[in-house]
Amino acid sequence: MLPDAVEHHHPALAHQFDSLAQQREAAALGMWVFLVTEVLFFGGLFATYAVYRWWYPDAFAAASHELDILLGGTNTAVLITSSLTMALAVHSAQLGRRRLLLLFLIATMALGCVFLGIKGVEYYHKFVEHHVPGPGFEFEAAYARQAQIFFSLYFIMTGLHAVHMIIGIGIMLAMFWMSWRGRITADYYNPIEVSGLYWHFVDIVWIFLFPLLYLIGRHA
């Protein structure tokens, strides 16, 4: 076998790897490649958005005015804060500070839940205002048709983003459990690190969604 046979007995080392370093590099690369697929997954939506915003700027502005900047802005702040707590969780894991790690994971999950709660309130408003696309859709006559495209995009983009948040919170729960059981150590923290990459990515998606959906033509 290879020189670093010393590490062979580490309980977290999977059989196909020769060393923990190789395993960590593979996990990180795997997550980065996965995030690239996510970029292109949302990319299809951004392309759709670009086409219709180019075609119907006025309808998009009018429809965008129906969204609540305060709620959207608050959610942006909440997510950025959750990214900070996530980064600090990884930091704590690197240093092997288990209690701090658990604390930051809880904070990240809590902020994620706050985000989803606010999102739920916004969805509820849209539902009450008949801004959900489909037969019941109502909007000022001039933009009644094209505003449906905006709201279709709004719901699918924020909806898929919310699905990613829910998955992220699920991952954080798993990370919490692993850390609770003491399986995360300063030698072996790549599950936390890799989950963190995912969480930050979901944050980045929102960083683009916020101005593209909430802030169109606000000066008018």
Partner 1 sequence: MQTTVAALPPRHYLNDGFGIRSWLFTRDHKRIALLYLATITLFFFIGGAMAVLIRLELATPAGDLVTDETYNKLFTMHGVMMVFFFLIPSIPATLGNFLVPLMIGAKDLAFPKLNLLSWYIFVVGGLFTLYALISGGVDTGWTFYTPFSTISSTSKVVPTALGVFITGFSSILTGLNFIVTIHRMRAPGMTWFRMPLFLWSIYATSLIMVLGTPVIAITILLVAAERLFHFGFFDPAVGGDPVLFQHLFWFYSHPAVYIMVLPSMGVVSEVVAAFCRKPVFGYRIVAFASVAIAVLGFLVWAHHMFVAGISVYAAMIFSVLSMLVAIPSAVKVFNWTATMYRGSISWQTPMLYAMGFIGLFTIGGLTGVFLATLAVNVHVTDTYFIVAHFHYIMVGGALMGYLGGLHYWWPKISGRLYPEFLAKLSAGIIFLGFNLTFFPQFVAGYLGMPRRYHAYPPDFQVLNVLSSAGASILGVGYLIPMAYLMWSLRYGRAAGSNPFGAVGLEWMTTSPPPTENFATTPVVAWDAYDYKGEVEGRVA
Partner 2 sequence: MSQTHVVPTRVYYTIFAILMFCTYLTVQVAFLDLGALNTVAALAIAVFKAVLVVLFFMHVKYSTRLTWVVVIGGAFWLGILLALTMTDYLSRAWGTFG
Sites of contact with partner 2 (CB under 8 A):
21, 24-25, 28-29, 32-33, 35-36, 39-40, 43-44, 46-47, 50-51, 54-55, 69, 73, 76-77, 80-81, 83-84, 86-88, 91, 94-95, 193, 196-197, 200-201, 203-204, 207-208, 210-212, 215, 217-220
Q: Which of residues 118-157 bind partner 1 (CB under 8 A)?
A: 133-135, 145-146, 148-149, 152-153, 155-156
CB of 133 to partner 2, least distance (A): 22
For residues 104, 105, 110 and 112, what is the CA-based torsion angle, rounded to 10 degrees?
110
- Which of the listed partners (partner 1, partner 2, none) does 71 bind, with a CB threshold of 5 to 8 Å by partner kind? none
CB of 83 to partner 2, least distance (A): 6
If one asks whether residue 74 binds partner 1 (CB under 8 A), the answer comes out as: no
CA distance 55 to 111: 37
Taking the CA atoms of the chain, what radius of gyration do you get in angstroms?
A: 21
Contacts of 167 (CB under 8 A, 6+ apart): none
Residue length of the chain: 220
Q: What angle do CA 152, 119, 37 make, to 5 degrees?
A: 65
CA distance 181 to 189: 13
From 12, 45, 103, 113, residue interacting with partner 1 (rule: CB under 8 A): 45
CB 213 within 8 A of CB 64: yes
CB closer to partner 2 out of 5 and 80:
80
- Which of the listed partners (partner 1, partner 2, none) does 15 bind, with a CB threshold of 5 to 8 Å by partner kind? partner 1
Q: Which two tokens stand for residue 99?
A: 């209690």
Burial of 204 (0-12, 13-18, 19+ CB in 10 A): middle
CA distance 193 to 196: 5
CB closer to partner 2 out of 27 and 137:
27
CB closer to partner 1 out of 27 and 102:
27
Binding site for partner 1 (CB under 8 A): 1-2, 14-18, 22, 25-26, 29-30, 33-34, 36-45, 47-48, 51-52, 55-56, 59, 133-135, 145-146, 148-149, 152-153, 155-156, 160
